[in-house]
Structure 1
Amino acid sequence: MRTQVAIIGGGPSGLLLSQLLMKAGISTVVLERKSRDYVLSRIRAGVLEQGMADLLREAGVAERMEREGHVHDGTNLSTAHGMFRVNFKERVGKSVIVYGQTEVTQDLYEAQDALGATIVHEADNVALHDVTTDKPYVTYEKDGQTHRLDCDYIAGCDGFHGVSRPTIPAEKRQEFERVYPFGWLGILSRTKPAAEELIYANHPRGFALASMRSDTLSRYYVQVPLTDKVEQWSDQAFWDELRRRLPDEVSQTMETGPSIEKSIAPLRSFVNEPMQWGRLFLVGDAAHIVPPTGAKGLNLAASDVHYLLEALKAAILDKDAGALDQYGPRALTRIWAAMRFSWWMTTLMHRFPDQTDFDQKIQEAELHQLETMESAQITMARNYVGLPY
């Protein structure tokens, strides 16, 4: 089998890149290690920056997002002393859309099916070969047989644990990482959201987040030690702890119910440089991880797709091979800006193990400045809705 662009990974970034390339007349094959049902069962982020929403419109997959997504013109921040709102629309003239990653992925699958895309699920033992030559290829196993996929370029959209990043020699990679000493215990419940917009809560007991996926599906998180196990947390214990950390006016009226999904996610900041090795290009979590504070993970993957799409179109359609060398530097400039914002949000809102009462007061003083200073709100809003591509 042969294609112009081999895409490793069939999550939202791989499917979005395939959709946009195919609409531009460039052939693709997507290799995904898991089944379609498994991919669609993953519960992930749900806040889309304006840039990502525009990219979905360009890809022709925004109809359901426009109909069912929730436009948020701001967000709420809470301390032990009260809650305030940062109005994105007022400060920077932009908004975000709450629309779950599972829904985005479903829309992309349907659009890919309509275009007749080649998506190989349950592709095992994927390996990348000759990526520094002009004839790279990929091998994989399917139903007990080994297959070869020849291509011109390879997009590694296969996540943090995929094969793409390790294909770059270790001595040629530089990895920047910060691992945070806590995790997020999250639940999904068929309940009415606690508020119309997200609530980020700084509390002496630890961080909490009240989020949503729809009018009837809520997503909540509380900060927990890395040593905690999901089995230690009953639904009732979770709701009790969440109520302690949210403002009284929210916790007293919040609807609760059985969890339909419960998990603990560790937090880390991670960036791999370079993002290009020969004709291999890293995209999304294969190249970088951000803490979920600030909702940048999926959105950063989308901006990578944008930059790589532009570079591949220039190289393939316009015969401008030099455009490919600009992919990594352009993407990394935006990645590091988002990394800084996610780090700032994480350090501002969480309780660290060695944190003193003094440190807590400093966090609360910074949040007070954010509440009362227009310039601080503009900076936060500009980063939250997404820096321009």
Structure 2
Amino acid sequence: MRTQVGIVGGGPAGLLLSHLLHLQGIESVVLERRSRRTLETEIRAGVLEQGTADLLERTGLGERMRREGSVHRGINLQFGGRRERVDFEDLVGRSITIYGQHEVVKDLIKARLEAGGEVYFEAPAVSISDLESENPKVRFEKDGEQEELVCDFVVGADGFHGVSRRSVPEGTLREYERFYPFGWFGILVEAPPSTEELIYTNHERGFALISTRSPRIQRMYFQCDPHEDPDAWSEERIWEEMQARVALDGWRLVEGPIIEKNVVAMRSYVAEPMRHGRLFLAGDAAHIVPPTGAKGMNLAASDVRVLARALGEYYARGSEELIERYSEVCLRRVWKASRFSWWMTSMLHRFPGDDPFQIRLQIAELDYVTGSRAASESLAENYTGLPFDPEFEEVLGGEEYLSEPHTGSR
């Protein structure tokens, strides 16, 4: 098989890149190890920054998001027996959209298949080779047979445990990692919303987060031991813990049947550079952030946004300048998002060994963030999405390709 861009991984990063390349007339093949059904039903986080939602909208993917997603213009921080709202719209003139990752994936799969895109499900990549040549190759399995995909470029968007990053020669990447001494116990609940906007809680028993997914499905989390067994928790025990952490002045969560429960590990990870030869890493293959800052899917979208532009320049004009800058531009945003996610995590969670002095500092930080317009504005700017690199945007000449597809060839 032969294509221009081989994409390993059919999650949000890989599918969105394939879609953006298609809008520029660039061929791609997406290889995904999981089934289509798994991709479309696996419930994951779904907080979209303003820029991510705008990107989906401008590229023809926003119709169902507009209809079924929920626009939130702020979040709530709860601490010391009080709840304070951070008004994003007032502070920075932006908002977030609550729309599940699996819903984004559904829309992307539908768009790619309707456009005749080549997306192979249940086709795991086995190896990636010849990365420093002009024709890198991806070997993959399909229907019990091994096949080979020859490309101009390979994009590794297959997550932390995928084959892409492991294909980079040993000693080439610098890896930065931090493990957090707690996890999130997550539950999916059949119930109406308890709140109109997200609630982040700092409580003496630990962090809790109240989110929403739809008028009838809600997502909630509470801080726990990272090795906790979800099956050891009864519904009664879960609700007792959730209510203890978030109840306020007679306000209580709306309870309902728990249809899913799991424990999410917490880590920060960055690999540098995000490119080796003709292999580009994107999304979780290159970086992971704790979910407190809601940055995971948004970073993946920003990676492929930059990469799509760089590849568009290459195929339209033969220029490799933006390709050379891919890692540099992406990593600036990755590290800022990593800092914000670490800060939110540190401010809201209880760490082993925290003494009363440290706990009082957390409360003081939350009091400052909610009481100072400058501090609230910083949180709002980061949460809704930092501006894209102005120098890079200038080099790219704006975003005309998003609304006016052109044909690229080389």
Length-normalised TM-score, structure 1: 0.98
**8 Å contact kept, 2:340–2:382:** yes
Find the counterpart in structure 2 of residue 263 from structure 1: 262
> Once the 2 structures are TM-superposed, how far is the Cα of residue 139 of structure 1 from its aligned partner?
0.9
Q: Match of 2:141, as an amino acid?
A: E
Q: Match of 2:228, as an amino acid?
A: D
Find the counterpart in structure 2 of residue 203 from structure 1: 203
**8 Å contact kept, 2:31–2:124:** no
**SS at structure 2 position matched to 1:172:** coil
Find the counterpart in structure 2 of residue 307 from structure 1: 306
1:189 aligns with 2:189: yes
1:291 aligns with 2:300: no
**SS at structure 1 position matched to 2:3:** coil
Map 1:65-214; keep pairs closer than 5 Å: 65-214=65-214
Q: C-alpha distance in 1, partners of 2:6/2:116?
A: 16
**SS at structure 1 position matched to 2:10:** coil
**8 Å contact kept, 2:31–2:125:** no
Number of equivalenced pairs: 388
User: 5+ unaligned residues in a row in structure 1: which ranges?
Assistant: none
> Once the 2 structures are TM-superposed, how far is the Cα of residue 121 of structure 1 from its aligned partner?
1.1
- Tell which deviates more after alignment, 342-351 or 225-234: 225-234
Find the counterpart in structure 2 of residue 345 from structure 1: 344
Find the counterpart in structure 1 of residue 317 from structure 2: 318
> Once the 2 structures are TM-superposed, how far is the Cα of residue 339 of structure 1 from its aligned partner?
0.4
Find the counterpart in structure 1 of residue 35 from structure 2: 35
Find the counterpart in structure 1 of residue 401 from structure 2: none
**SS at structure 2 position matched to 1:353:** coil
> Once the 2 structures are TM-superposed, how far is the Cα of residue 249 of structure 1 from its aligned partner?
4.2
Q: C-alpha distance in 2, partners of 1:88/1:247?
A: 24
Task: Give RMSD over aligned pairs.
Answer: 1.0
> Once the 2 structures are TM-superposed, how far is the Cα of residue 57 of structure 1 from its aligned partner?
1.7
- Tell which deviates more after alignment, 263-272 or 229-238: 229-238
**SS at structure 2 position matched to 1:171:** coil
1:23 aligns with 2:28: no
1:385 aligns with 2:384: yes
**8 Å contact kept, 1:82–1:247:** no
Q: C-alpha distance in 2, partners of 1:37/1:250?
A: 42
Q: C-alpha distance in 1, partners of 2:157/2:48?
A: 19
Residue by residue over 1:175-212, the C-alpha shift from the partner in whole angstroms, topping out at 9 and shown as x without a partner, is 00110000000001111121000000000110000001
> Once the 2 structures are TM-superposed, how far is the Cα of residue 22 of structure 1 from its aligned partner?
0.8
**SS at structure 2 position matched to 1:176:** strand
**SS at structure 2 position matched to 1:227:** coil
Residue by residue over 1:56-99, the C-alpha shift from the partner in whole angstroms, topping out at 9 and shown as x without a partner, is 12321111111111111100000132110000000011101111
**SS at structure 2 position matched to 1:293:** helix
> Once the 2 structures are TM-superposed, how far is the Cα of residue 323 of structure 1 from its aligned partner?
1.6
> Once the 2 structures are TM-superposed, how far is the Cα of residue 146 of structure 1 from its aligned partner?
1.2
Find the counterpart in structure 1 of residue 272 from structure 2: 273
Q: C-alpha distance in 2, partners of 1:76/1:237?
A: 25
Residue by residue over 1:321-367, the C-alpha shift from the partner in whole angstroms, topping out at 9 and shown as x without a partner, is 12201110000000000000000000000000111122111100111
Residue by residue over 1:252-296, the C-alpha shift from the partner in whole angstroms, topping out at 9 and shown as x without a partner, is 2x2111111110011000000010000000000000000000100
**8 Å contact kept, 1:80–1:247:** no
Q: C-alpha distance in 2, partners of 1:266/1:141?
A: 30
Find the counterpart in structure 2 of residue 46 from structure 1: 46
Q: C-alpha distance in 1, partners of 2:78/2:298?
A: 24
- Once the two structures are aligned, what percentage of the paired residues are identical? 49
Q: C-alpha distance in 1, partners of 2:37/2:227?
A: 31
Find the counterpart in structure 2 of residue 13 from structure 1: 13
User: 5+ unaligned residues in a row in structure 2: which ranges?
Assistant: 389-410
